[in-house]
Amino acid sequence: MSWLMKHLRRIAKGTLFTAFVLVASVALTQAYLLLRFLVTMKRGEPAVPPEHLRPPESPSMADSFGRLEQVPFQPVRPMALGFARAALNNSFLLFMNARRSTAARLYRYPGEFEDVVIESFDGTPIGAVVGIHPDGRPRPALVISHGFMGSKNDHYIIDTALTAYSEWGFNVLGIDLRNFGRSQCLTHTPSTAGWKEGEDLLAAAKFLSGKPEVTTVGITGFSMGAGSTMRAAYMAREYPYLTGGAIAWNGYSDARRMVSYISNRPPVNDPFFPVYLAFRLMHRLRRGDMLGYIEDPDILGHLGGKFKDANFEKYIEKVAAPHYGVTADELYRNASSREFLAEVEVPLLIVHSADDPICPPSEMDDLIQIAEDNPNVQVWMLPAGNHCLFQYMDRNWYLTVMRGFFSYWAEW
């Protein structure tokens, strides 16, 4: 018994120490983000590098991508350093995002940004934060979207947002997609693996387009936000508010295949296994939280089942698809970029990594083939980057590519 108690105490101490490190990391990073932002703002806005400006005649994805390819990609070695940076800055927030009361609470935006609520095209209220430069000079804007179980307050989002605002001179909007972040506090509107979320992004672009301080609007998204970004690029034909290009980071081509992949337990030695366990824990936290505020008897019936039988596949089938009056097949088709990528008419850069354990690189096979026949779309496969960790593997490359692409397609 004494042996058991000794090991239990060690486990408890280890757990408390890990929690302390994560909380301390968030607090220190918050202070650093704000200090860097203030220092950068005091320096004044730098001029747009000439190499980022598009030619006055005949701009093209081929020209834009050709410039970006010249940026050297030098991921940190050992790559474990990049993983550690990402984990320290984001992992604690992902679990907080699973509950209404704690979602999108950390990594606060500075006073230059304002909390707003935007109405998506189906009437869903969407939480967002927007930073418009106070000088009144018209300039481009950028909408930034998180991934599954994320929020606009995740480190990789706010870091990009503050940089785009203070160092590039962009107006910026960070969005909480439906059913995530602060948006889940406004209403329960089921997530759709990127289909309706694409409308949320375009609604944000419309919101920005209506401001006299905004010229063009670009969109970028990560993981599920990448799927949403690709859907927004397609739907821009109907809702012409995406006018400054789009970048999708580590997305997917087949939503059904992707949902199945993250819903089913992989072998223990699979690189995705620890992520799967984290998803299951976040799922359990979200499920328990929803039981406290959901009143719909059909949804409660689904939530009341055994947790071991619950996954995102069943959520799509039993909750999301019925809510929108479609079948699961229709929802998956609407969320699968391979179904509509050929018809995208705006500049769209799709960036992926060969070592992505969550959205396997095979997800790009169909998209690479489709992009060959669409001059508006370019798929860029990098040798490393894991899943949406480019800014932690090579921050200079990531920011240079982002600024170069969106500056090229912007109007100044």
Model confidence pLDDT, tens digit, residues 101-153: 888 888 999 999 999 999 999 999 999 999 999 999 999 999 999 999 999 99
- Asked if residue 7 has pLDDT above 80, the reply is no
More confident position, 403 or 412: 403
Residues in CB range of 200: below 8 A, 6 or more apart: 118, 120, 124, 126, 175, 177, 178, 228
Q: Determine which of 38-52, 366-380, 382-396 has the lowest per-residue pLDDT on average.
A: 38-52
- 338, 367 contact by CB (below 8 A): yes
- 322, 329 contact by CB (below 8 A): no
| pLDDT recorded at residue 285 | 86
CA 226, 280, 287, 92 dihedral sign is: negative
- Asked if residue 1 has pLDDT above 60, the reply is no
Q: Show the tokens assigned to 81.
A: 């350093």
Model confidence pLDDT, tens digit, residues 16-71: 666 666 677 778 889 999 999 999 999 887 777 777 778 878 899 999 999 999 99
User: What share of the chain has pLDDT > 70, as a percent?
Assistant: 94
Q: Which of 130, 133, 115, 150 is nearest to 206 (CA)?
A: 130
Q: Which of 227, 220, 188 is nearest to 332 (CA)?
A: 227
Beta strands 377-382 and 125-131: pairing type? unpaired
How far is the CA of 54 from the CAs of 36, 65, 270, 371, in angstroms?
29, 11, 43, 22
- 231, 346 contact by CB (below 8 A): no
| pLDDT recorded at residue 4 | 62
More confident position, 243 or 50: 243
- Asked if residue 75 has pLDDT above 90, the reply is yes
Model confidence pLDDT, tens digit, residues 222-238: 999 999 999 999 999 99
φ and ψ at 13, to 5 degrees?
Answer: -65, -40
Q: How many CA atoms lie within 13 A of 344 on its CB side?
A: 33
| pLDDT recorded at residue 48 | 79
Model confidence pLDDT, tens digit, residues 81-98: 998 899 888 887 888 898
Q: What residues are paired with 352 via a beta bridge?
A: 381
| pLDDT recorded at residue 24 | 76
DSSP class of residue 135 equals T
- Asked if residue 338 has pLDDT above 70, the reply is yes
| pLDDT recorded at residue 58 | 84
Distance, CA of 232 to CA of 205 (rounded, Å): 10
Distance, CA of 174 to CA of 144 (rounded, Å): 5
CATH classification code of 59-408: 3.40.50.1820
Model confidence pLDDT, tens digit, residues 254-274: 999 999 999 999 999 999 999
Instruction: Domain ranges for the chain, please list them.
Output: 1-43, 59-408
ω before 357 within 30° of 0 (cis)?
Answer: no
Mean pLDDT computed over 277-287 = 87
Distance, CA of 145 to CA of 174 (rounded, Å): 6
pTM score: 0.93
Q: Which of 387, 329, 393 is nearest to 363 (CA)?
A: 387
For the chain, the residue count is: 412
